[in-house]
């Protein structure tokens, strides 16, 4: 769903089949879809998964899709306290904003697994204008998904999956919690109307040895990362020194301890380099 409010819709069945194959669904799976649009993907998810919750913010589109595909619809915009329980259908179109919905509560209402072993997948062509907030939401929520299969802008997919040398805050924000993988690219002509950008489908798999939900530790990690990336053209030493109010010599010594050159820039460090650096500062 490349443009704001989902004005571009997937039309290529080959791409759709590849997304479904990548999701590897079974009758035991709970799937959350964000931005179902006309329900092309939703219909296939409903055929294979045990339960599908499709969250759509466009009221007219949500009602039309629910009506055409004979899915139940729940309006969380007008009734935010409603619950999706005892549904007669395995698929529910939820009218609401994914960034405003109580996601942990939504998951607990629908998963058959007990806390903390909540299991579900996210499979979606997410709205491109809020790609980063959506990914961060699922990675940082109390009950994160086991994996996400997402269609995103190709350039964003490449940034998320970047290695040391081309790292960014976005890449570190994802890789801190999970392992991303670019599965395949999708040409603009696969959509109607045809957008101006190509897309890509990525898998973001939750790390088995996932970072603990230590809020202070997370804050510290990203505070130092943001300091390191504060000025793209400056060296890591200069950025950390000025942003964290540390003596340059102190920063140089800490970098030396983990074998990082004083001339390196933030994008050249790997996730493991950052973790080591955060421990020292």
Half-sphere exposure of residue 15, counting CA atoms within 13 Å on the CB side? Answer: 23
232 forms bridges with which residues in the sheet?
none
pLDDT at position 5, please?
42
DSSP letter string over 96-133? Answer: S-TTTS-HHHHHHHH-SSPTT----EEEEE--GGGHHH
Phi-psi region of 38 (alpha: psi -120 to 50; beta: other; left: phi over 0): alpha
What CA–CA distance (Å, rounded) separates 212 from 217? 9
Q: Alpha-carbon dihedral of residues 54, 59, 63, 65, nearest 10 degrees?
A: -50
pLDDT at position 212, please?
53
pLDDT at position 2, please?
47
pLDDT at position 84, please?
57
pTM score, two decimals?
A: 0.91
pLDDT at position 4, please?
42
pLDDT at position 229, please?
97
Alpha helices in the chain (DSSP H): 13-23, 40-48, 59-69, 103-110, 131-140, 154-160, 169-175, 215-228, 236-244, 248-257, 271-280
**Measuring CA to CA, how many Å separate 122 from each of 70, 134, 151, 244, 255?**
22, 11, 11, 37, 38
Weakly modelled stretches of the chain, pLDDT under 50: 2-6, 85-86
Task: For residue 22, report the phi and psi dihedrals to the nearest 5 degrees.
Answer: -65, -35
Map out the domains of the chain with their CATH numbers.
9-206 (3.40.50.150), 215-280 (1.10.8.100)
pLDDT at position 261, please?
93
The answer to whether 125 and 41 are in contact (CB under 8 A) is: yes
Tokens of 8: 């571009």
């Amino acid at each position: 769903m490349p443009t704001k409010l989902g004005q571009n819709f997937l039309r290529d069945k080959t791409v759709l089949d590849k997304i479904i194959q990548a999701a590897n669904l079974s009758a035991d799976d709970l799937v959350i879809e964000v931005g179902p649009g006309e329900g092309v993907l939703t219909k296939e998810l409903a055929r294979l998964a045990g339960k599908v919750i499709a969250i759509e913010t466009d009221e007219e589109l949500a009602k039309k899709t629910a009506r055409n595909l004979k899915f139940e619809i729940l309006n969380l915009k007008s009734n935010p306290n409603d619950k999706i329980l005892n549904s007669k259908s395995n698929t529910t179109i939820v009218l609401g904003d994914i960034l405003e919905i109580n996601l942990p509560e939504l998951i607990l209402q629908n998963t058959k697994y007990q806390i903390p072993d909540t299991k579900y997948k996210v499979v979606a062509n997410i709205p491109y204008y809020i790609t980063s907030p959506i990914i961060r939401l699922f990675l940082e929520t109390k009950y994160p998904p086991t994996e996400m299969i997402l269609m995103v802008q190709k350039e964003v997919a490449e940034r998320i999956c970047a290695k040391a040398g081309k790292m960014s805050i976005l890449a570190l924000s994802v890789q801190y919690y999970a392992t991303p993988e670019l599965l395949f690219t999708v040409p603009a002509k696969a959509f109607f109307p045809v957008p101006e950008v190509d897309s890509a489908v990525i898998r973001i798999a939750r790390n088995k040895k996932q970072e603990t939900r230590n809020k202070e530790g997370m804050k510290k990690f990203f505070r130092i990362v943001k300091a390191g990336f504060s000025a793209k053209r400056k060296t890591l030493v200069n950025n950390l020194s000025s942003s964290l109010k540390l003596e340059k010599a102190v920063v140089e010594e800490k970098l030396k301890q983990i074998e990082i050159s004083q001339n390196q820039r933030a994008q050249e460090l790997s996730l493991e380099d950052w973790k080591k650096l955060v421990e020292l500062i």
